[in-house]
Structure 1
Amino acid sequence: MRAIVLILLAGFCLPAFTLAEETESTQRAVDLDRLDALLTGLEAQGFSGAVAAGFVDGPALQKAYGLADREAGRRYRTDTVQTMGSITKPVTAAAILLLEGEGKLSLDETLADHFEDVPADKREITLHQLLTHSAGFPGGIGPDNEAIGAGDFVERALAAELEFEPGSGYAYSNVGYSLLGILIERISGQGYEAFLRERLFEPLGMDATGYLLSDWDADQRALGYRGGSLWGEVRGRGWRSDGPGWHLRANGGLHTTVEDMRRFVALLRGKGPLDEDAVARWTEGYVDEGGGDSFYAYGWAVSDSPLGRLVAHNGGNGIFSADFLWFPERDFYLYIQGNTATVPAADLRPMLLAALVDADFPLPPDLEEDGNSDPAKRLAGEWSGEAGRLSLRPDGPRLLAEATGSRLLRALNQVPDGQGDRLDGFDEKTRTILSRIAAGEERVLDGFTDEDVAERSRRLRELFDRFPEDARIELAGSLPIAPESRFADYGTVGSYVRIESDFGTRLATVLWQDDGNYRGTALGPASDLPGLVLVRMTSGGYRAVERQPPWRHYPVELQGDCLDIVSLTLCRTDSADQ
């Protein structure tokens, strides 16, 4: 999984200092206590995971939140292991640079130099292009849980249709990194994980990182949760005897702890197996990811941030997620991981940065949560009124409120009445696009953008084509984009399309500009929809809390089969037990 790489937070900039003052002043400007307070507040809303953040030679925070195993009541710890998803990619890139430093390969070499029977359209693809997602390979060629071997994977990859001529564009691709992993095995004569363990992890003291060789105890591993239900582990799902199949291996799925990722920082400082010259090449942005504000390096995305130059990557599978951030000009790192889709760790970056550097950034309320899950199960179900439908889903002791209907969405998010007609217009535009997609039309964006209608329409159709034919696609409504949203730099209005299938619930956020033109569509977790979480209080009853700043919260009054929330009355419309 990959989210928007960076949203710049306007106004969250640090002042300039002389070199002598810079380190001390930066450390004063970065507030780790506020970071802790943010994550503590999010724990009541469903976040569980751990963070390691701090200055290499200064203040630091290393702390865990929530439960790693809800059924057993086992707390998350800083040594709890879970997948870090696509943060595997910079590790694979580091291994390639190690081999290059030994003279065993060159990044200018091509697929034809290392693989047999490479078709003409792929013969000149270089290792540099694989590392920078500029080779043209598709994002994937099969499911993560297929136990595909290296030979079959290479055959399938070489037969895949390229999205563009190699070197002429950018397309994020797991395929390219899996090919690099196979190359590591062929050149080193070792298994992928064995090579990483011997050449990278052990020298850095990262004893808990890998696929299988670390052999963690069951009580050290986190379980994943989606929609309030146990999902389980990535580990072992369709895996081979030595790790995952090659749809996942070398591009994702490595497991780690926040303690190990703190040790990983040494590699970025040139204090590990990579020398400083190799680190500089590892972290140099080469290829524009689109938009001109983020450039892909070798396994990293490089951009500007409130703390200066940012080298980062995130990852996940829609349940587990993680994010790693390194600010080389400040010697500051942040790694966060989490085991639930309720509050995905990988989506928190804008809030984490804001909490660190902006004293005025609002923090979530510190609520005394009752841990009893039984009342939430009784209230779960569908509640409707004139304004729309509210689905309440249990997530441990809390309830996640999913609203459908623009009037209901606006009321829950306190949108001023005067914006209703304008937002209704964006609803209508989005419905038109969805109906065109359903009808199989090609130019689904006709009338909604002046820029390359055919190509942008094709990309939008392909986004929806990823889902099964029986997926339920429903417009939830349109809202103004909040300044704190990760979409704030990409549009002023978001039309939220909920997509439900056997693979879970995803949200397509259709972004619109002030002038009414289409800006783009972002596919993400259901939590991208601004909404409420109902937190059961130790004093009894529930409070509805906004899941994003400014975190307004309201009492919820239950009266028989109806509930009053934000001046609205909604009544139960399903047959669930009361």
Structure 2
Amino acid sequence: GKLKVEDRIKRFFPEAPPDKAAITLHQLLTHTAGLPETLGPEDEALPRHAFLKRLYATRLLSPPGQKFLYSNAGYSLLAAVVEVASGRPFGEFLRDQVFLPAGMRHTGFIPDPQDRPRLAHGYNGDGDWGTSLDHPHAPDGGPWWNLRGNGGILTTTGDLYLWFVALQGNAVLSAAEREKYERPYIRETNAEYPQYTYGWSFSKSPAGHRKLAHVGGNGAFQSDFRRYPEDGAMIAIGSNTDDYSSIAVANHLEDWLFGKPFVDPLALVPAKEEELRRCAGTYELAGGAAPERLTVTAEKERLVVTPEGAAGLVLLSGKPEGKRQKRFEAREERVSEAMAAARRGDLKPLAGICVDADEAAKHWRAVMTRTEAQLGPWQGITMLGTRSIGGQIVTHARLLFKKGTRVLDVAWAGSLADHVTVSDRLQPSFFLPDGPSRFVTFDVGTDTLEHLTCEGAGAAAPSLRFEGPSGTVTVRRR
């Protein structure tokens, strides 16, 4: 009873400037306040008063109430409102008023001591990201204010199931409150779906009923939570690496749940070590202006196939067609424009394509300073292509320096880049054994299978045959 969604920010923060004072809680909840995506890095040591001061000084991207613009900063402002209205820290309020009534005893900003050994490590392009506890926290144990209110909560899939159960009944919200909470208010794009409710993307399930979902990630972890209230079903899935998209996996689980066409898990067989070693080596792929190398290494129970350039990407992932080709070409154009501007010293276009604009610019400066110290001045860029890797859409380009090259990877989360990395080589594809001298890989984002056969006899296979989205292609050992 202390809050109404019609309340304006000035009720809680009288010092708010005129352009922000009239923003309502409803506009914050529906991402229509006109605020930007973020105000800085998630782990920046930013207390509440400093966050509010920065938010007040930030220019609105659109007039409040007119346009859907996803804003983590808006949900952080909502967390500040909760603290003012309740007189309690946000994490404490969530625990007592939301999590415990729902039976969620393994959820919160800081896990209980018995739960800490269960924390998963995240992995990104830089390696082991660690756990949430390895990163800066505010003095009260919760995240700093660029993350508070829009993320930073640790939980389990079991507790997410309890949250689903709670929202099916009246443990946390009454029926009238749930109706308001789950009602769609605004389209997220020009398409009919998804539409945004209070904290959920609303669309239709394969059965034609309501589907309420949300995804999230930070470059190391990804998660997808989908509720189907009328169907009495939910999907909660998370991943702790940027190499494989839990969001794409959730699409397959949804198909299976609702009896839609579904790619069955692959039937695999054990691989002999000598068979893996026989396939390993460097092969030559014809095509393009010059032959490319295809490097195959043997790891435990799998082959790792690393392409050198654009022809290798097409071999392993296929050539996109139709709408997918247009989407990929649009991403490549945006990356090319951002890189051209970056060469001129203008990082605004690069920041503009990234989820976290400030952090992207800061990271890019550090990476390029380090790389140019090794390879000399940056001299140009060659676009290699865009593909799905484990369901993650990634645009690749080759950065040209005076003394060598590096590979640019831009990993997308919708229309924005989740993270940008620079590495020594293109990301590989992993092939698992499914028969004698035969291996297979599956991309969960495109539903494509590709088979690899080590041909010939002897300790070193003279050639490999690939059968997949690009047809049948044979590459020969160099």
- Where on the TM-score scale, by shorter chain, does this alignment land: which range? 0.7 to 0.9
Task: Tell me the CA shift for residue 125 of structure 1.
Answer: 0.7
| TM-score normalised by structure 1 residue count | 0.62
Cα distance in 1 for partners of 2:270, 2:61 equals 49
Aligned to 1:507: 411
Supply the AA of the counterpart residue of 2:58.
A
Cα distance in 2 for partners of 1:163, 1:215 equals 43
Q: 1:118 aligns with which of 8, 11, 16?
A: 16
Structure 1 range deviating more: 309-318 or 235-244: 235-244
**Structure of higher RCO (CA pairs closer than 8 Å, 6+ residues apart):** 1
Cα distance in 2 for partners of 1:317, 1:435 equals 24
Structure-to-structure mapping, 1:210-229, within 5 angstroms: 210-227=108-125, 229=127
Structure-to-structure mapping, 1:379-418, within 5 angstroms: 385-387=285-287, 388=292, 390=294, 398=302, 401=305, 403=307, 405-413=309-317
Number of residue-to-residue matches in the alignment? 424
Cα 1:436/1:109, change in 2 over 3 Å: same
Task: Tell me the CA shift for residue 390 of structure 1.
Answer: 4.7
Q: Structure 2: 5+ residue runs without aligned partners?
A: 343-347, 369-379, 400-405, 421-425, 467-472
2:89 pairs with 1:187: no
Residues 311 and 327, structure 1, Cα contact 8 Å, conserved in 2: yes
Q: 2:220 aligns with which of 319, 324, 330?
A: 319
What CA deviation, in whole Å up to 9, does each residue of 1:551-578 have, x standing for no partner? Answer: 3432346976986251343668xxxxxx
Aligned to 2:188: 289
Q: 2:247 aligns with which of 334, 346, 350?
A: 346
Task: Tell me the CA shift for residue 508 of structure 1.
Answer: 4.9
Task: Tell me the CA shift for residue 412 of structure 1.
Answer: 3.0
2:230 pairs with 1:329: yes
Q: 2:32 aligns with which of 134, 145, 165?
A: 134
What CA deviation, in whole Å up to 9, does each residue of 1:42-62 have, x standing for no partner? Answer: xxxxxxxxxxxxxxxxxxxxx
Residues 426 and 478, structure 1, Cα contact 8 Å, conserved in 2: no
Cα distance in 2 for partners of 1:201, 1:371 equals 49
Structure-to-structure mapping, 1:424-463, within 5 angstroms: 435-440=336-341, 462-463=352-353
Aligned to 2:403: none
Aligned to 1:271: 170
Task: Tell me the CA shift for residue 524 of structure 1.
Answer: 5.4
Aligned to 2:430: 533
Aligned to 2:133: 235
Cα 1:364/1:406, change in 2 over 3 Å: farther
Cα 1:432/1:264, change in 2 over 3 Å: closer
Specify the SS of the correspondent of 1:235: helix
Specify the SS of the correspondent of 2:23: coil
What CA deviation, in whole Å up to 9, does each residue of 1:272-324 have, x standing for no partner? Answer: 12101111111111121002311111111101120321011111212211111
Aligned to 2:102: 204
Cα distance in 2 for partners of 1:195, 1:362 equals 43
Aligned to 1:253: 152
Cα distance in 2 for partners of 1:198, 1:425 equals 49
Q: Percent identity among equivalent residues?
A: 28
Task: Tell me the CA shift for residue 530 of structure 1.
Answer: 11
Q: What RMSD in Å do the two structures reach over aligned CA positions? A: 4.4
| TM-score normalised by structure 2 residue count | 0.74
Cα 1:121/1:371, change in 2 over 3 Å: farther
Q: 2:65 aligns with which of 155, 167, 174?
A: 167
Specify the SS of the correspondent of 1:208: coil
Task: Tell me the CA shift for residue 365 of structure 1.
Answer: 0.8
Supply the AA of the counterpart residue of 1:410.
V
2:469 pairs with 1:555: no
Cα distance in 2 for partners of 1:235, 1:562 equals 50
Residues 362 and 550, structure 1, Cα contact 8 Å, conserved in 2: no
Cα distance in 1 for partners of 2:382, 2:306 equals 12
Residues 79 and 148, structure 2, Cα contact 8 Å, conserved in 1: yes
Specify the SS of the correspondent of 2:384: strand
Specify the SS of the correspondent of 1:204: coil
Cα distance in 2 for partners of 1:427, 1:360 equals 26
Specify the SS of the correspondent of 2:50: helix
What CA deviation, in whole Å up to 9, does each residue of 1:501-557 have, x standing for no partner? Answer: x9x943359xxxxxxxxxx9564579xx998422368x8977241323243432346
Specify the SS of the correspondent of 1:506: strand
Supply the AA of the counterpart residue of 1:364.
P
Cα 1:506/1:414, change in 2 over 3 Å: closer
2:378 pairs with 1:477: no
What CA deviation, in whole Å up to 9, does each residue of 1:57-91 have, x standing for no partner? Answer: xxxxxxxxxxxxxxxxxxxxxxxxxxxxxxxxxxx
Aligned to 1:145: 43
Supply the AA of the counterpart residue of 1:310.
K
Specify the SS of the correspondent of 2:113: coil
Task: Tell me the CA shift for residue 429 of structure 1.
Answer: 8.3
Supply the AA of the counterpart residue of 2:21.
R
Cα distance in 2 for partners of 1:122, 1:188 equals 22
Residues 111 and 123, structure 1, Cα contact 8 Å, conserved in 2: yes
Cα 1:297/1:370, change in 2 over 3 Å: farther
